[in-house]
Structure 1
Amino acid sequence: MLSYSPGESLGHRLDPRTKLAFQAVVAGVALAHTTPAWLLALTAVCWAALAGCRLAARETLAEYRGVLPFLVVAPLLEALRVGPPWLELGAAVDPALALYRSLLLLALAAAYVKTTSPRESRAAVVSVVPGKPGRYLGLGVALVFRYLPLLQADVRRLREAAWARLGDERRVDERVAHLAVGSLERAFDRADALSLAMRARCLSWNATAPALAFARGDYGVLCVAGALVAAGVVW
């Protein structure tokens, strides 16, 4: 499940601001340079980042198995033609490169979520965006990181319960409707429970955040990010 997992890896020890800056640099370079050579270099960088977080690439991308089919179908649709030659592979090159670039960014996002607690993410946003906007935005980020894993777990339990009742033998539209309605009901129930819990705990808009400080590993990662920026500008 795509949620925070405590650990002692390098990724866990990094300051959340460092990880956000690194993701922003990789995303900027990937959008500015879309050649296969650059994507190969960014693949090595992302692979090293996943290794530093002690995450396997296959398991990380498996977290997006619900999104991957929609990404893969884009190059196929671009290559299809109404008339002869019916399939033009050259037209699928650019969408395929964009798909691969998206996979790299999704892998980095999953590494961030796995190694950063919601409190740290909230503190990072508050420190970067000053004033009340930063506090509101930080609270929203923290709630999303806490809320989405619960929704994913609810959907998984609904699907497993349907399979246990031979739901896989029903028509596809019936299965989709059952899963969609059940997921919405669970989401509304979660939202009501969350609202009640926030009121019961007298939610503070300016809660005490964990102390953030850059360490030696953060400076190393920032140097790598700076090298990527410099290389992107030069080449």
Structure 2
Amino acid sequence: MIAYEHGTTLFHRLDPRSKLVAQFGFAFAAVTTTEPSVVAVLSLVALGTLAVARLSVFRVLWTYRFVLVLLALGPLFASLRFGPPWLALEHAPPSLLAGYQVVLVLFVSAAYVRTTPVRETRAAIQRHVPGRAGQLLGTGVGLVFRFFPVVLRDVRRARLALRARGGDELSTRERIQRLSLLTVEQAFSRGERLALALRARCFSWNPTLPRLAFGRADYPLVAAGLLLTGLGFVQVLGLPAAGSLPV
């Protein structure tokens, strides 16, 4: 599981707002483009982002392995037909490209999670989404980032405990039923303890959040995010590229 880790990389020193703008622009451009040259450039950007964040490609792929399995099945499902011909292989490449685009977005998102504290993300959201909606959204994001890894660890422990008690001898259906029941029970137990801890610590909807300030490196990143967003709109609207405009 990828979570925030303290570090001194360039991305650690950037403002979370600039990283969010750049991440949105990258994701928008990645999922809307079909040009091979643009996809190649975005691939280099994604790999460079992981390198700057000091995050291994293999670690990201292992973390999102279940998502990758579903993406790998996408071309097969896209090619299946309910009558002859049973396979339409011409539909596989677009599905394969869409899956690859999602992988690029996961790379950039993993770099953001790795280099951005949860409190800074919450501060960025609450200071730009007004009212109780921003407070609720910021609190929800913070709780998800902290609560989800704990739930995953509980699932792994439940699976190991089931295996240690002879769970491998059960049928697949019985294993899934018991593991699901254990996971739900542990999740509700975690939720009750979380609610009690929040009350004990005088949980506030409007806590004192860290100060956010742009540095010199944030402005080029915001400009890159806006440029990528514009590129995405060009792809969506089908506008001609600059080199193909009529004279």
Partner of 1:58: 58
Partner of 2:244: none
Q: Which amino acid aligns with 2:128?
A: V
Task: In structure 1, list runs of 5 or more residues that go unmatched.
Answer: none
Partner of 1:225: 225
TM-score (norm 1): 0.92
Report the secondary structure of 2:217's partner residue.
Answer: helix
C-alpha separation in 2, matches of 1:217 and 1:61: 28
TM-score (norm 2): 0.88
Could you tell me how far 1:228 is from its partner in structure 2? 3.1
8 Å contact kept, 2:123–2:209 = yes
Task: In structure 2, list runs of 5 or more residues that go unmatched.
Answer: 235-239, 242-247
C-alpha separation in 2, matches of 1:15 and 1:115: 10
8 Å contact kept, 1:36–1:97 = no
Q: Percent identity of the aligned residues?
A: 46
Partner of 1:167: 167
Partner of 1:77: 77
The more displaced of 168-177 and 9-18 is 168-177
Count of aligned residue pairs for this structure pair:
235
* Distance change in 2, residues 1:136/1:36 (3 Å): same
C-alpha separation in 2, matches of 1:137 and 1:72: 32
Could you tell me how far 1:83 is from its partner in structure 2? 4.3
C-alpha separation in 1, matches of 2:190 and 2:59: 28
C-alpha separation in 1, matches of 2:132 and 2:204: 12
C-alpha separation in 1, matches of 2:230 and 2:208: 37
Could you tell me how far 1:34 is from its partner in structure 2? 2.3
User: What do residues 78-124 of structure 1 show as CA deviations (whole Å, max 9, x unaligned)?
Assistant: 11234444333211111111111111112222221121111111001
Partner of 2:23: 23
C-alpha separation in 1, matches of 2:190 and 2:82: 46
User: What do residues 9-49 of structure 1 show as CA deviations (whole Å, max 9, x unaligned)?
Assistant: 22221111111111110111123312332221111111111
Partner of 1:196: 196
Partner of 1:68: 68
C-alpha separation in 2, matches of 1:198 and 1:97: 44
Q: How does 1:14-163 map to 2 (within 5 A)?
A: 14-163=14-163
Could you tell me how far 1:201 is from its partner in structure 2? 1.1
